[in-house]
Each structure stands twice: as C-alpha cells, then as structure tokens.
Amino acid sequence: MKHPVELTRLFKKTDEEMLQQADVQRALFIESKIKFTERFTPLVDPFATVWGNAITTAREILPDYVSLASQSSETDALEGFLDKGRTAFQTLMLYTQLAYPANASVLRLMGQPGYIAARKSQLKLPVLLQSAYKQATKPEYKTALMAKGMKADEIESLETLADSILAQNASQEKSKKDRSLDSTERILAMNAVWEKMALVSQCAKLVFQDNATLYAMFLLDDGSAATPAPPATPPVQG
C-alpha cells in the first residue's frame, strides 16, 4: 500500500508575498479580461470571482505562528505540572527518609530508584507518582509520614498531579495534531490561489505575446518561487 504523498507548497516565497502578488495579478487580469476570455474558455466568468474567493479564503486562515503559540502554551503548562510532580515526589522522599532513616527498602517501595529515569518523562513520571501515592496512603506509611510533618494534601497531590500530567500531555499531543491539520488546510488554500496564478500566467504568454510590458507583468516570480507543475494547456476559443 502506497503512503500518501507529503503535501508541500507550490511556491517558496512567504504566504503574504504570494497573496500580495495574487491581488496584483488578479486586478491586472480583470482589466484585460476580455482579451483573456476571447482566447481561453477556462478564464470566463466566474473564474475571476472564484479566484477572488480563493484569495479571501487563504487570507482568512490564521498563520502558523498562531498554532505554534497555542502548542507552546500547552507545552509550558505541561512543564509546569512536571515541575510540581517532581517537587511532590522529592517531598515524599524527604519525609520517607525522616520517618524511616537508613531504611533503603522503604525508599525502594516508594519508588526512589525509578526517579532519575522518570523525572523528565511525561509518561513515566505519572506512573511513578501514582505508585508512590498507593504506597504513601497505606495506613502504616501515611501515619509515619504525617507524624514527621508531611501534610495530607501533599500526599494527595501525588495522585492529582499524576492525573494532571497525563491530561495535559494528551492536550499537548492534540495541539500538535491540530497544528498539523491547520498547516494542511493552509497549504491547500495557498496552493489553490497559486494554481490560478499559474494558469493566468501561462495564458498571458499568448495573449500578450506582442506586448512586452503586460507579458512581464503576468510572469510569476521564478527567482523566489518554485516552478509549479504546468497546468494542462487550456482550450483556445475557436
């Protein structure tokens, strides 16, 4: 089974530059529409309207930095929960050492050996916190920990922070997928405008073959744009 071909822009310039060029080219097209439509049937109405709508649609799609900002916000929130989770676990280790001095078996039971590997992982740290919570809430351990000054809400935070990390990680992953979908929508919209420009540019080479000024005005910027796949040669009006 074939993998889908990766969607890419048909041009190299920025979206804003391409849309600006599209505005100019469309305005020039409308001024010379009769000359175009006399020779090329695909350019008759409502071609100009469809082209204008495509430009409007592309311009209304939020730029990538908006999606990136949303994703970054989710990442920052996740890092905040991870930091709180690490603090909660370290607090548990401190009170465990106070309650059970020189007792390595209790430290192992609370999860100390797994901390280094889990402390920076949004997948491993919640598991460590949940396991520590189950042990710390056993009556014999909870009583000993609280006798040394650990608060009940500090013990409960082990579970609540584990849940928060898992939930925020899911939210971050969703934001990554949303950004990918937004990017696809944006590229499709921009390419739709570019394809209209490429068609008009191709037709202009015949329409203005005796007018060097207009011929040049309809040329696409090959210096900053990827060469688009040439559209099928439009039928000439007989």
Q: What is the pLDDT of residues 125-175, one digit of tens each?
A: 999 999 999 999 999 999 999 999 999 999 999 999 999 999 999 999 988
Q: How far is CA 190 from CA 16, 22, 71, 145, in A?
A: 10, 10, 23, 61
Give pLDDT, residue 18.
Answer: 93
pLDDT digits (tens, 9 = 90+) for 43-69: 999 999 999 999 999 999 988 877 788
Higher pLDDT, 3 or 44: 44
Give pLDDT, residue 91.
Answer: 97
How large is the average pLDDT for residues 105-109? 96
Higher pLDDT, 195 or 225: 195
Give pLDDT, residue 225.
Answer: 41
Q: Which residues of 177-189 are buried (b: 16+ CB within 10 A; e: fewer)?
A: eebeebeeebbeb
pLDDT at 228 over 90: no
Residue recorded with tokens 């191709």: 202
Residue type, 15: D
Give pLDDT, residue 237.
Answer: 53
User: Half-sphere exposure of 149 toward its Cβ, with a 13 Å CA cutoff?
Assistant: 6
Q: How far is CA 171 from CA 35, 63, 168, 176, in A?
A: 54, 21, 5, 9
Closest CA to 236 of 17, 19, 40, 34: 40
pLDDT digits (tens, 9 = 90+) for 177-218: 888 888 899 999 999 999 999 999 999 999 999 999 999 999
Helix, strand and coil in the chain, % to nearest 5: 75, 0, 25
Supply 83's token pair.
């930091």
Please enumerate in sequence order all residues whose Cβ is within 8 A of that of 167, keeping only pairs 6 or more positions apart, or say none.
Answer: none
Please enumerate in sequence order all residues whose Cβ is within 8 A of that of 66, keeping only pairs 6 or more positions apart, or say none.
Answer: none
Q: What is the CA radius of gyration of the chain?
A: 31
Is this structure's pTM higher than 0.75?
no
Q: How far is CA 4 from CA 7, 8, 99, 147, 203, in A?
A: 9, 12, 59, 62, 31
Find out whether 154 and 88 touch, Cβ atoms under 8 Å: yes
Separation CA 208–CA 39 (nearest Å):
11
